């Protein structure tokens, strides 16, 4: 019943995610995504847990710019928003970020254990 209502309200959706109904007192949530495995362009729905009546609907086109940016959070951080090139850039940025503490420790350890050179006396 919920799936059919979402499919009717968002016919362009390639992916629909149904949330758990919980204990029967909280609304059942559902999200309809325009593209499969892209989470930034979605319509949000809330349904009564017993009757299945639609309580709330929030469509992507009517969301504020801030809410749309919040919806893009996962896709931005994984690079998915720019496709394969974005994923490669995100991977390289993550790899470099993860290597910084390791390389910093190696440099610090090397400087700490460096043999001290004897100082030459200068003659005037």
Count of beta carbons in the 10 Å neighbourhood of residue 24: 8
DSSP character string of 64-117? -HHHHHHHTHHHHHHTGGG-HHHHHHHHHHHHHHHHHHHHHHHHHHHHHTPPPP
Predicted confidence (pLDDT) per residue in 70-90, tens digit: 999 999 988 998 989 999 999
Considering the entire predicted model, what is its pTM? 0.69
60 with 82: CB under 8 angstroms? no
Contacts of 89 (CB under 8 A, 6+ apart): 79, 82
Predicted confidence (pLDDT) per residue in 13-56, tens digit: 999 999 887 777 889 899 999 998 888 899 999 998 888 899 99
81 with 75: CB under 8 angstroms? yes
Q: What is the pLDDT of residue 34?
A: 92
Q: What is the pLDDT of residue 17?
A: 92
Q: What is the pLDDT of residue 122?
A: 73
């Amino acid at each position: 019943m919920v799936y059919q209502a979402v499919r009717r309200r968002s016919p362009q959706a390639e992916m629909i995610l149904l949330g758990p109904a919980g204990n029967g007192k909280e609304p059942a949530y559902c999200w309809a995504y325009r593209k499969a495995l892209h989470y930034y362009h979605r319509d949000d729905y809330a349904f009564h847990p017993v009757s299945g009546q639609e309580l709330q609907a929030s469509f992507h086109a009517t969301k504020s710019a801030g809410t749309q940016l919040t919806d893009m959070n996962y896709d931005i951080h994984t690079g998915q928003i720019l496709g394969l090139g974005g994923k490669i850039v995100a991977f390289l940025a993550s790899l470099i970020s993860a290597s910084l503490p390791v390389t910093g420790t190696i440099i610090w350890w090397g400087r700490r254990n460096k043999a001290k050179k004897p100082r030459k006396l200068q003659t005037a």
